[in-house]
Structure 1
């Protein structure tokens, strides 16, 4: 199976590191013309330096309506949009203020809503497009330590399903991807105390999964490349019959048959 995205343009939001960067790298290696995004020019420039070949970057905060408008003005058309931008913040429900809920909603949900509204009509007019949302297994297994995050990811999954119905018959597919625990830079930061105490990052990751996601069938975090592989396939012409799906790269954490 050969994935060929030659001639396709792709935007990956929140892609200066972690899963987003791995997806951008995978899309570029498949031949797509990639635009990466981050909030600061320094991080965008550093990410571009890590990519081989031509890529562009835009330093814009997509958590605001103004940021989304600025991005669309600078980059008015894409064949593939991966809504990867997201944040997470452990916090007990009773200690989580409205501001935290609102920040998660704007970053994790509304950034994707605005870009879908901006880019899907052009994809439909051209008769081909791919819109992806990075959900999470937390959208099904709501984590007690960050209910606000789980709610935002449930919303992403529902948004993707609804948009897939809205785009039916246009040649545009819309799907969500559900990673489980993944060894991104954000997770590495969360585990830094254990690493400082002498564990390798991989061992700290395995211990975290066993303690907090004991239902994992692989017993370890995924790599960012493992998640990116699914995204690259779903973004390709080979996945033309897959739409409205919540595609799991969760290591079997979600205890569903389907």
Structure 2
């Protein structure tokens, strides 16, 4: 089995580091002309340089836009009017007690984690349908099924992403456009590394061990008993973005290390 995305264009939101960057790298390695996105031009430029160093000769460009706003989404669409593959990866997370989470924080999470995908899917799906080929992929989370008590606001947004992707898949019925959601579990991205930095400094353990301790403490149902790597998540996304996944749509595909304790 060979994934070949030659001739395809992909947009990966929130892709200057972490899972998003790993997805972008996987797509360009498969031949896709890929658009990176971040909030600042400096972050985008550094990510492009890093990706070009990782994959010499790659076709990559970037758009600096804050997709947590309608204006930022419009800026991206104006710069890149069409795409074959849209990966709605941009997202924010962070623990905060429900009773200490104000309306403004709920609204910020909704704007970034849900409305960015709403706006960009609304912009790009009609063109995909007209061309009768396309892939839209939402990065949800196992937290969308297994709502974490320590960040309910985050879990709610990731549940909404599941509903959105399933509904859009139905809306594309009869076309060769698929819409799916990917559900990572704890993943050792830059954001998670930063979240765990204090624990690492206290214990002196390698970050991988600190992450594994976090998983066993906070996600005890994990079967792999460790955090996934960003590349492990990206591998599934790249497959779903490819022509090989043509019969997979409306699905919630888990790469959660077995955290969600169900056989379905």
TM-score tier (shorter): over 0.9
**CA distance in 2 between partners of 1:58 and 1:208 (Å):** 34
Matched, 1:242 2:248: yes
- 3-state SS of 1:51 partner: helix
- The residue that corresponds to 2:26 in the other structure is 26
Counterpart of 2:180? 175
Distance 1:68 1:194 in 2: 36
- State the SS of the aligned residue for 2:226: coil
TM-score, scaled to structure 2: 0.97
**1:206 — aligned with what?**
212
- Any gaps of 5 or more consecutive residues in structure 1? none
Q: Secondary structure at the match of 2:263?
A: coil
- Where in structure 2 are the equivalents of 1:153-232 lying within 5 Å? 153-197=158-202, 198-232=204-238
Aligned to 1:146: 151
In 1, distance between residues paired with 2:174 and 2:262? 29
The Cα of 1:151 is off from its aligned counterpart by 0.1
Residue equivalent to 2:85 = 80
Task: Specify the SS of the correspondent of 1:215.
Answer: coil
Distance in 2 separating the partners of 1:67 and 1:45:
17
Alpha-carbon distance between aligned partners in 2 of 1:228 and 1:59, rounded to the nearest angstrom: 22
CA offsets per residue over residues 79-101 of structure 1, 9 Å max, x none? 00000000002100000000110
Per-residue CA deviation, residues 113-140 of structure 1 (Å, 9 max, x unaligned), is 0000000000000010000000000000
Residue matched to 1:66? 71
**Map of 1:252 onto structure 2:** 258
The TM-score normalised by the length of structure 1 is: 0.99
How far apart, in 1, do the equivalents of 2:262 and 2:217 lie?
20
Q: Which runs of 4+ in 1 moved over 6 A?
A: none
Partner of 2:43: 43
Tell me how far apart the structure 1 counterparts of residues 145 and 87 of structure 2 sit (CA, whole Å). Answer: 21
- Secondary structure of the 1:2 match is coil
Partner of 2:55: none
